[in-house]
Amino acid sequence: MQTRTLGNSGLEVSAIGLGCMGMSFSYGPPPDRQEMVALLRTAVERGVTFFDTAEVYGPYTNEELLGEALAPLRDRVVIATKFGFDLDPNGGPKWVGLDSRPAHIKQVAEASLKRLNIDVIDLFYQHRVDPAVPIEDVAGAVKDLIQAGKVRHFGLSEAGVQTIRRAHAVQPVTALQSEYSLWTRGPEAEILPTLEELGIGFVPYSPLGKGFLTGKMTETTSFGSTDFRSILPRFTPAALKANQALIDLLGRIAAKKQASPAQIALAWLLAQKPWIVPIPGTTKLSRLDENNGAAALVLTADDLAEIESTAARITIEGARYPEALEQMTGR
């Protein structure tokens, strides 16, 4: 596995990381825990060094899973987790709002360190911007944690340009994590140029469009009540049908390169900037190997031009999220 450095931070990670949310949360009933422990350890053996989790995944159980699986391999991995949600005090699988007050951030850090079974959090993201707390206070709290030796790097997720700049002025931001893929290209206009200017790395989540860009879904694909795609406008039958044009494009390029649509989608992301590190998620070893294979796939200038010109003529149907969730992004 090739490696990449996130911006000017010096934080070196595998060119493709592993998003771990689906191992505990969001995509239907969680799979067998010991199978996921084995998968995580195999990922390290395959060269993956960058693992992404959050306290809200489960909640808590995903961090605990990584803590068990990666403890014997701690010196070979970079673990990223997140703060910023106010979780259900009754322990239910719900968050009840945002909370990035400095005291809360420090409480979350202590709890995450214990669940992850580590002495220091490699990358600590604010999960969503909290409009009730100045971003300078958030950055200051993480700066305190870095100075205390409990966190190494500061990250933001789904933050807008001005928020990034204000945070970076207090504590250098190592990485921004936001959704980015061939069917979610919002970051290209303002975010990517800002990150390049400031020397901040970019970690696209859902780089395979929550599974859509694998080419395995059609308008007849259904999602159970515990699968959060069941509430997403982009996963209605009509939207799935309309957006198949993007899959047709990926399929054409994949056939030429003897690759899969998912590998083309990931290779396209890697080709955008050398400081972009996507974090596809999976619960299957075959998919892990498929995704990792994208790091060795070279798209030529002609390939990229064909993707760009064709994609420009495709209108993506359906919003990313229901309106209430969409309002929490890009602040």
What is the set of active-site residues?
57
User: Residue 309 CB: number of other CB atoms within 10 A?
Assistant: 10
What is 78-96 written as a DSSP string?
A: EEEEEE-EEE-TT--S-EE
Q: Work out the burial of residue 39: count CB atoms within 10 Å of its CB; fewer than 13 is exposed, 13-18 middle, 19 or more buried.
A: buried
Bridge-based pairing of strands 173-179 and 151-157 is: parallel
Cβ atoms < 10 Å from Cβ of 322: 11
The DSSP symbol for 8 reads: T
**Given its phi and psi angles, is residue 84 left (phi above 0), alpha (psi -120 to 50 degrees) or beta?**
left
What's the chain's length in residues?
A: 331
134: cis peptide before it, omega within 30°?
no
Distance CA 175, CA 125 (A): 8
CA–CA separation, 271 and 129 (whole Å): 28
Give me the long-range contacts of 223-226 (CB less than 8 A, separation at least 24).
223/28, 224/28, 224/29, 226/28, 226/29
Encode 231-283 in three state secondary structure: HCHHHCHHHHHHCHHHHHHHHHHHHHHCCCHHHHHHHHHHHHCCCECCCCECC
